[in-house]
Structure formats: C-alpha cells, structure tokens
Structure 1
Amino acid sequence: MASSSKKRARTISAIASRIYFLVIILQLPLFRFPCRIGMCKTPIEVALSHLIASEVFPDVAVKAFLYPGAIAKAIISNTAIPSYDDLLNFLKFSYMEAASAATDLKNLEVLVGSYLCVAGAFLGLIRPGRASLFGVLLVLWGIARELVLQKHVATEDLKKTVSIYATMWIPVLSAFFSVRGDVRKLIRSCKAKRIPKQLRMYSKAKFK
C-alpha cells in the first residue's frame, strides 16, 4: 500500500510540475499588474523586466526565457512569429519605464513571488519542491492586497489595471499537486476515510 501511494504521488507530482512549467514558460496570462514594461500579465514578465532594468541579465539570456512565450502568443493571436533579434520590441521590453527602489519595495510580494514562480518552474523539472507554491501564493497575496487598497482609492485607472484572471487557478493547483509530500498525505487521508466506510458496508452486509 505504501509503495502504491508513493508511485501515485510521484506520478501526480511529475505531471503537475510539467503543467506548471508549461504555464510559466509559455506565459499564460494570469493577472494584470503594473511593472517596468507597463502592464505585466505573467511572472516571467515581472521578473525579467526587473532584471533588465537592474542590468543584471544580458539580453541573450532574457530572450532565451521569453522566446517560448512569444511563439505561443504569436500562434494564439495568429500573427507572425517574431525574429529572435526583434523579440524585445515585440514584447515591449525595449520601452522600459523608470521605477524607483521605493516602487519595487511597494510591489515586493509580486516581485519576489514572480522570481520564485520562475525558479520553481525550472527546479520542479529536476526535483519538485515548494518554491512554486510559495511563489504563486506570494503573487496572489500582493495582487489581492493591491485590490483591497484600490477600494479606498477613488481612481478609475487603478481599477482597470490590477486584476487576477481565472487562469490563476491552474498554477495554484498544479503548484500544490507538484509537492510530492503533500500529495502523499492527501492520498493517505482519502484511503483512511475510505477504509472505515468499506468496513461499515461489510458489517451491514454480514448482519443482513
């Protein structure tokens, strides 16, 4: 029984990790949040726009992360796939907005969460862990906090900018199920509830 639950947990964790990786690397729109390129819709956009502005990553490394998502966007929108040289222009990364350290600190949860989301997506292919889950929850917390603050600000522009898409449930669930230990606990819990139920059914049938 133990080996069976381990195998199931390993399979579920592996599938969930790969789903999570595809969601992040193909840049499925998950939210709308102000960032250095204007409006970011994915953790990769938030993290890489900050890295480019900080001049930490060379353009070659940034393009390698962005290109799979650019191809997916071009296919979905039925437009031409951008050339590798024109990639930053296509994704508006060439028009960076100046942002102070204070602005980054204000959006710290979303920024740090986005870094963890991206790192967790790649680490999950090797050994699934909690980085992905922590990252998604941090991003959700940061955006939710901003949405709560908007209620006290009478500005229509802000209400149009920050939002969470329904697709956000995909990385949340896949990040949770990618943690093998949590999946094993869930499987054991389901089995523990099912066994007493089967015993009750057996006892009823026996006394009939």
Structure 2
Amino acid sequence: MATTTKTSSSSPSWSKGWVSNLSNIASRLYFFLIILQIPLFRIPCRSGMCSTPIHVTSSQLIASEIFPVPVVKALLYPGAVVNGLVNNLTVPSWDNVLSIYNLTSVKEAPATTDLQRLEVLAGSYFSVAGAFIGLLKPGRMTMFGTLLVVWGLVKEGILGKPVNTDPTRAVYVYPTMLIAVICAFSSIKYDVKKVTRNAPARPTAKPLKSSVKSKLK
C-alpha cells in the first residue's frame, strides 16, 4: 500500500520536470538555429536573397540605422564563422562581415522589397528577439515570430502575393523550417501544477435518499 502511494505522488513531479526540461532544450536548440544562421527559407530582401531571420533583421537594422553597426555585426558574426568553416575552412574577419552578407549598400536598396513582406520581416524580428529571451525564460515570442514567418512564406509561395516573375528570386522553404516550428512550439513553458489546480473536479456520486432510508429500516 505504501509503495503505491509513493509512486502516485512522484508521478506529477516527474511530469513537471520533464515538461520544464523539454521547453529549456527546445529554447536552446531554437537559439542555435537562429544564431548559427541555419538556412530556414529563401526570400527576396533588401540585401538580395535572405535565408535566415537574422539576415532579414540585419538588413533592415542596417538600412534604418536603429542599432549601431557593431551590434549588427555581433549578430551576424557567429553564423559567418560557422559558414566560413563549413564552406571554406576559413574564419572571416570582423571587418568583412557586412560584405559577406551584401549589407554594405543596403541603404540604397528600395524599401518596397521589405514592405511587401511585412509578415516575414516582423516574424524575423520576433524570432531573433525570442531566441535570446528564451535562453533566460522560455516564452511564446518564438512561436509567434515563427508563425508570422511561415504565414508570410505561404502567402507569397502559394497565394502569390506579392507577384514574383523571376524564378531566381522564388520563395523556397528548407526542411529545417519544420525543426524551427517544432522547437518554437515546444519552447512554451507550461505550469503543470497550475493546470492540475485549475482542472475541474469530478463530481462524486451521492446515494439516493430512498436508498439511505431503506438501509436505516
């Protein structure tokens, strides 16, 4: 009898720990997908063709001068190092980071390219910010940003808005996008104790008055 009570009491704590660890692992995996610039999609942007949320965000930050250039370089450099080691076995220099991503003349590029894809632009902002915030506290920002990006890609790829007649600038979604979506949803941290507390109590069956009277007789 004591063994049964111990097992049932430890089950909720084990479930809570498993859900908490899952959200933390998913948040870290999502962070590495973003900061290492694993290609998730391919879409036209102000710097040419962008394949990661950081690339989309950086092109807009450089063009609008919202953040200083060193901050944008710090966002791009980890991914540039990984891509340089994988492709050329070389580490790019800090000064050439903007040239690698074709961001040196992004201010002169027409802003209509990004304005036509506001969902992807806004989703990339939320994805990058959510990836960093998720390291401290997993939340819903990554999910919201990823859904915005997916909707923007679907709208252009399937619905054809905006219209694109150049096949070299066609929208493409990489299989890694599915991993990003799974990590974004899994990074949401659920409070198992709160869910259990708010669950409606099951009604207990009460004996009928007639049966009680018959027993007394």
- Compute the TM-score of the two structures, normalised by the length of structure 2: 0.78
Q: How does 1:83-98 map to 2 (within 5 A)?
A: 83-96=93-106, 98=109
For the 8 Å contact 2:44–2:169, the answer to whether it is kept is no
Residue 179 of structure 1: aligned partner: 188
2:172 is aligned, of 159, 163, 168, to 163
For the 8 Å contact 1:150–1:158, the answer to whether it is kept is no
Q: Distance in 1 between matches of 2:98 and 2:115?
A: 25
Judging changes above 3 Å, is the alpha-carbon distance between structure 1 residues 2 and 52 closer, same or farther for their aligned structure 2 residues?
same
Q: Distance in 2 between matches of 1:71 and 1:136?
A: 24
Residue 199 of structure 1: aligned partner: none
Residue 209 of structure 2: aligned partner: none
For the 8 Å contact 2:35–2:79, the answer to whether it is kept is yes
Q: Distance in 1 between matches of 2:163 and 2:104?
A: 31
Residue 12 of structure 1: aligned partner: 22
For the 8 Å contact 1:39–1:161, the answer to whether it is kept is no
Q: How does 1:1-208 map to 2 (within 5 A)?
A: 1-96=11-106, 98-100=109-111, 102-150=112-160, 155=165, 157-158=166-167, 160-181=169-190
Deviations 1:101-150 (A, max 9, x none): x5433211000000000000000000000100111110010011001233
Q: Secondary structure, in 3 states, of the residue corresponding to 1:32?
A: strand
Deviations 1:80-101 (A, max 9, x none): 211111111122211315223x
Identity %: 52
For the 8 Å contact 2:46–2:113, the answer to whether it is kept is no
Judging changes above 3 Å, is the alpha-carbon distance between structure 1 residues 73 and 88 closer, same or farther for their aligned structure 2 residues?
same
Equivalent position amino acid for 2:133 in 1 = L
Equivalent position amino acid for 2:71 in 1 = A
Q: Which runs of 5+ in 1 are unaligned?
A: 189-208
Judging changes above 3 Å, is the alpha-carbon distance between structure 1 residues 52 and 120 closer, same or farther for their aligned structure 2 residues?
same
Q: Distance in 2 between matches of 1:147 and 1:86?
A: 33
Q: Distance in 2 between matches of 1:8 and 1:92?
A: 43
Q: Secondary structure, in 3 states, of the residue corresponding to 2:158?
A: helix
Q: Which runs of 5+ in 2 are unaligned?
A: 1-10, 197-217
Calculate the aligned-residue CA RMSD, in Å: 2.2
Q: Secondary structure, in 3 states, of the residue corresponding to 2:103?
A: coil
Aligned length: 183
Q: Distance in 2 between matches of 1:34 and 1:151?
A: 13
- The structure where helix makes up a greater share of residues is 1
Equivalent position amino acid for 2:190 in 1 = G
